[in-house]
Structure 1
Amino acid sequence: MTGPATGADTGLAGRCVVVTGAGTGIGRAVAHAFADEGARVLVVGRGAARLAETAAGRPGIHPFAADVSTPDGPRLVVEAAVRELGGLDVLVNNAVTMRSALLGSIEADDTHRQVATNLLAPLFLTQEALPHLEAAKGTVLNVTTAGNQRGWPGHSVYGATKAALDFLTRTWALELAPRGIRVAAVAPGPVETPIGEHAGLDPAGIERMRERQRARVPLGRVGQPEEIAWWLVHLARPEASFATGLVLPVDGGAGVVF
C-alpha cells in the first residue's frame, strides 16, 4: 500500500472507502482523490467499462459493477467492500439519476428511477453498512445539490430527492453520533460532468444549460469534479472529527444570489 501522493500522512492511508456512481464525473474524481491519499477504494456503478477506466493504473481502486437501486444492490456492495477491502470506514453516496421534465410531462418510470437511485439507494446502502461503519467509527458522506435551495424548472423530482437526502444527512447525524459515526453532505452547484447527457439532453440543450448556469454563478464558471472531491476527502480526514450534520454548499457563490 502506497501512502498519500503528497508524502504527508493525512490519516486516510489504508482506510476502506466505498464510492457509488464512480464511473464518471464527481464519483471518479472522489475515488481518485481518496486513492491518492493512500486509501483502498471500492468504486461502484452500473457500467463495468467505465469503472475499469476509473481504476486504470491505480492498484488501490477496486471496481465492482452493481446497481445500488435494486433490492439486493446494497447488500452486494457491502459484501464486496468487506471481501475486497477488508472493511468499510467511509461511505460516499454519490450515485445519481436525473431526468428533465416539466410538470405535466413527468413520467412514472423516470420518477421511480430517480427516487430509487437518489434517495432509497443511499438510505438502504447506509443501513446495510452500519455494523461496519460503527466498528470503524466511520463516516458517511452524501453528495446532494445546491440547486434544491430554490425552484428549478424541469427538475422538480430530482431536486426533491436531493432535498430529502439533505434531511437524511442531518437526521442520521443525530441518530448515529452515539454510535461514533459522522454524517455530512457536500452540495455541489453546477459542475462539468456528463449528467446533462444522462438527463436526456442533446448537445445544444446541454450548452444552453451550461450558459444559464454560468450566468448564475458569481465566479462566472461551472465547477470541476476535483473541486467537489477535495471537500469530500477533507471531511473524511481525522481533522474533521468534530464535523457532523452539515450540508456544505460548493457552488461558486450561486447560493447567495437573490
Structure 2
Amino acid sequence: MDLNLRNKVVLITGGSKGIGKAIAKGFLEEGAKVAVMARDTSVLKEVEQELKGVVGFSADLTNAAERQQAFNQFLSEFGTIDILINNVGGSNGSTTTETDLTLFEEAMQLNYFSAVHFSKLALPVMKKHQSGSIVNISSIFGRESGGKPTYNSAKAAMISFTKSLADEVIKEGIRVNGVAPGSILHPTGNWQRRLEENPEKIQQFIANEIPAGRFGTVEEVANTVLFLASDKASWVVGATLNVDGGQSKSNF
C-alpha cells in the first residue's frame, strides 16, 4: 500500500535505536525526508551511515533549552515539518516509596514534557499549512499498572495529552494520535537483556502475559505509526492504539 508519504518531512525524537530507528527506516522506505534526534552523537552518526538519507540532531531531550535549539536547527535545515513522532522515552527508579522525587521529574521531562514541547514547536508550522500529523509513542502501561511508576505516570499523561491536543487542532487539519506498545524485543532494549540473563523466566513471562505467544517487533510498531501518520488514517483522531499482541488487560 502506498501511504502517500513521499517527500513528507518527518522528525522523530529518540530515533537512534529501537522503535524510533525502525520508524525512521519505515518512513525512508516510503520516500519521506527523515530527521532523528537523540543525545548520543556517536550513535546518531551510526544511524546516518546505516539509514542513508537520515539526518541526526544531537540534544539532551530532557532539557527544554536544548530541545528548542535542536528544533530550530532542524527547521533551519528542512524548512518545514509535516509529521512529528514523539518517541523518546525511558524508565528510572523503582517503587514509588523508594524513588526520589527528582527521578519522577526526570521521567516526566523525558517521556512527557518533551512530547508537549515538540508538539508546541511544530504546531505553528503545521497550522500555517493547515495540515500535519503528530504521533505520540506511549505504552500499554499508560493505561494500567505494570513497569515502573515514574514511567507509567508519564505515559498516562501522554495518552491524555494526545486526546486533548487532537480535539484542539483537528479543525486546523492536524491529526494527533498515539501508539501504546506492549513488550517489544530489540537488541538495545531491556527485554533482550532480561532474555539473555534468564531465558526460562522470560519464556514463562511470555506464556503467562502475552496471548500472541511472543514479543512484538519494532517493525510492527513502526508499521502502525506510519499508518497513523498517513492520510489513510484520516478519520483516526485522538486515538492511542495498543500494539501488544493482546498483552494489555484493559478492554478500552
TM-score of the pair, normalised by structure 2: 0.90
Alpha carbons 2:61, 2:110 under 8 Å: kept? yes
Mapped to 2, the partners of 1:90 and 1:132 lie a distance apart of 11
Match of 1:144 among 138, 148, 162: 138
Match of 2:154 in 1: 161
User: How much has 1:170 moved relative to structure 2?
Assistant: 0.3
Q: Aligned runs of 1:1-258 on 2, under 5 Å? A: 9-136=2-129, 137-152=131-146, 155-193=148-186, 194-196=188-190, 204=197, 208=201, 211-213=204-206, 215-256=208-249
CA displacement, residues 195-216 of structure 1 (integer Å, 9 cap, x when unaligned): 428xx98963798567525530
User: How much has 1:171 moved relative to structure 2?
Assistant: 0.3
Return the letter of the residue paired with 2:108: V
Structure 1 pair 158–88 and aligned structure 2 pair: CA distance change class (3 A): same
CA displacement, residues 129-161 of structure 1 (integer Å, 9 cap, x when unaligned): 111122341001000001233222x51121111
List structure 1 segments (4+ residues) > 6 angstroms apart after TM superposition: none
TM-score of the pair, normalised by structure 1: 0.88
Mapped to 2, the partners of 1:101 and 1:206 lie a distance apart of 23
User: How much has 1:178 moved relative to structure 2?
Assistant: 1.8
Alpha carbons 1:22, 1:28 under 8 Å: kept? yes
Match of 1:4 in 2: none
SS in 2 for 1:44: strand
Q: Could you tell me which runs of 5 or more consecutive residues in structure 2 were left unpaired when the two chains were aligned.
A: none
Mapped to 1, the partners of 2:105 and 2:42 lie a distance apart of 26
Structure 1 pair 126–228 and aligned structure 2 pair: CA distance change class (3 A): same
User: How much has 1:182 moved relative to structure 2?
Assistant: 0.4
Q: Could you tell me which runs of 5 or more consecutive residues in structure 1 were left unpaired when the two chains were aligned.
A: 1-7
Structure 1 pair 100–202 and aligned structure 2 pair: CA distance change class (3 A): farther
SS in 1 for 2:64: coil
User: How much has 1:108 moved relative to structure 2?
Assistant: 2.9
Structure 1 pair 59–195 and aligned structure 2 pair: CA distance change class (3 A): closer
SS in 2 for 1:72: helix
Return the letter of the residue paired with 2:161: L
Alpha carbons 2:93, 2:103 under 8 Å: kept? no
Mapped to 1, the partners of 2:73 and 2:200 lie a distance apart of 38
CA displacement, residues 144-188 of structure 1 (integer Å, 9 cap, x when unaligned): 001233222x51121111011000000000111122110000000
What RMSD, in angstroms, separates the aligned Cα atoms of the two structures? 2.5
Instruction: Give the length in aligned residue pairs.
Output: 249
Deviation larger for 90-99 or 210-219: 210-219
Mapped to 1, the partners of 2:149 and 2:11 lie a distance apart of 29
SS in 1 for 2:62: coil
Mapped to 1, the partners of 2:151 and 2:202 lie a distance apart of 16
Structure 1 pair 203–102 and aligned structure 2 pair: CA distance change class (3 A): farther
CA displacement, residues 6-65 of structure 1 (integer Å, 9 cap, x when unaligned): xx7531111100000111100000011001111111110001121222222433210111
Mapped to 1, the partners of 2:213 and 2:40 lie a distance apart of 33
CA displacement, residues 86-136 of structure 1 (integer Å, 9 cap, x when unaligned): 210000000002114023211233222111101111111111111112234
